[in-house]
A = this chain, B = another copy of it.
């Protein structure tokens, strides 16, 4: 096996350290040390620390987005009005499944996503492209058809809830570093719990004024 090139090793090291220590808590020196690369390599390959984060984020998010998109396509090919459970599974499932290898049950990647999304700095959240919004809008429309009577605002609220539950759960698991929580069987259980929880939540009747 050929040794991975410097660029890839920096990406892997940055992905890990950003997840473990956050963006600001990770120095470029720590990344290059872990990657076995020279300090200047980050500037050479990515331009700056912020652009490195954007590259890391894209690499992590893209397969999740693609899986969410494909899942919705699959549902819509079968019926024009998928059930709420199916939509929840297609949307939330990839947040559990599409995690790179070597990741402790995907928890580290979830940690990274939350770290990025919750960082107040603009530069940290500016990696996003139009693809994420497109997928979310498509699910929004599908949920809207499955849940008539729900106002668009309340529907948006509930979709945020899906992201919140899936992301935060796994982050807490990761922070506690309890090995039992990181086993594949525990991850599978959390996946099923989340789908149960979220399907019931999404299916709730509209809130009366």
A residues at B contact (CB < 8 Å): 19-22, 24-25, 111, 114-115, 118-121, 125, 153-154, 157-158, 160-161, 163-165, 167-169, 171-172, 175, 189-190, 192-201, 203-207
State in angstroms the CA–CA spacing of A114 and B196 once bound together: 25
A191 to nearest B CB, angstroms? 10
Pairs of residues from A and B, 8 with the lowest C-beta to C-beta distance, nearest first: A200-B204, A164-B168, A201-B201, A24-B24, A164-B164, A196-B207, A118-B118, A161-B165
Kindly list chain B residues whose C-beta atoms are within 8 Å of the C-beta of A125: 175
Contact yes or no, A197 B120, CB < 8 A: no
Contact yes or no, B200 A21, CB < 8 A: no
Partner among B119, B154, B197 whose Cβ is within 8 Å of the Cβ of A201 = B197
A150 to nearest B CB, angstroms? 10
Contacts A21-B120, A25-B121 supplied; 14 other A-B pairs, CB < 8 Å: A21-B121, A22-B119, A25-B119, A115-B118, A153-B189, A158-B193, A158-B197, A160-B172, A161-B164, A161-B197, A196-B205, A200-B200, A200-B204, A201-B204
State in angstroms the CA–CA spacing of A160 and B170 once bound together: 10
A178 to nearest B CB, angstroms? 12
